[in-house]
Amino acid sequence: MRNNLSSSPPPLRSSPRLAAVFEKASAENRAAFIAYLTAGDPSLEATVEMAEALERAGADVLELGVPFSDPIADGPVLQRAAERALAAGATLDGVLEIGGRIRRRTSLALVLFSYVNPLLRGGIESVARRAAEAGFDGALMTDLPPEEAGEYQPAVRSAGLDTVFLVSPTSTAARMKAAARLSSGFLYVVSRPGTTGARNALPADLPATIRRARKAAGSLPIAVGFGIGTPPAAGSAARLADGVIVGSALVAVAEAAEKRGAGPAAAVEKLARSLAEACRRNSTS
């Protein structure tokens, strides 16, 4: 990959949907609730049903994950979800197709969440164009560091999609600035080093990480994820950031419901409703 940060164009406003999400949440004195699902787990149809359940519960944004065979940033819950989705026949084409269905059935802002490899196989420019046509608002390549964004970020932006980059507690000030410069929509703050997965408490250094991220991001909204899986944790994160991202906990309750022979959408909706309520800054969660 070519290091091309110096020549990357400044972020341009594309789809208004993500911007509207954060503006609305701020006006309502809450953090935006950003949910994650692995597309195709347990099926593509069930993913659409869970997306509808998330909107009913109060979610603002859905990160729709492209299942990948080597998900190095994911903990065991999301690894199992990717394995099930791939075994069920989920493909990038299928993810884009259900993204279109979710767009037609909900008003959720949609972010295509993927490792770089599946998008490279499909051709970054082609995938970005098709994602925009399907109704996605942004894209996040979880293993693409800003130093290696090269021509890929401009290609995604040229399709009319927002680009989201990640920073973490170990990111230097220079890397945070680079990630923020390449981001539009929001800047994703990883709450802790390591893989995804719900934890019982937020790390003690998260407020300091958020302060550093805000300094780098300026007016760009910041959302925090990794390790947030309970209403108390979501409530704490909501008082620090503009958005709260929950993935593993939602996938885990869907997995448990499926094992019981119950529909996963109801289980996802129940947890999501409590998380959405916790994102309100006057919440007692």
Q: List, in sequence order, every beta strand (DSSP E) within the chain.
A: 32-38, 61-65, 109-114, 138-141, 162-164, 166-167, 187-190, 222-225, 243-246
Write out the catalytic residue numbers.
63, 74
Cβ neighbours of residue 86 closer than 8 Å, sequence gap 6 or more: 40, 67, 69
Q: Both ends of the chain: CA-CA distance in Å? A: 44
Q: Both tokens of residue 16? A: 């208004």
- Whether the CB-CB separation of 40 and 47 falls below 8 Å is answered with yes
Q: How far apart are CA 137 and CA 45, in angstroms?
A: 21
Which backbone phi and psi does 234 adopt, to 5 degrees?
Answer: -65, -40
CA distance 198 to 6: 37
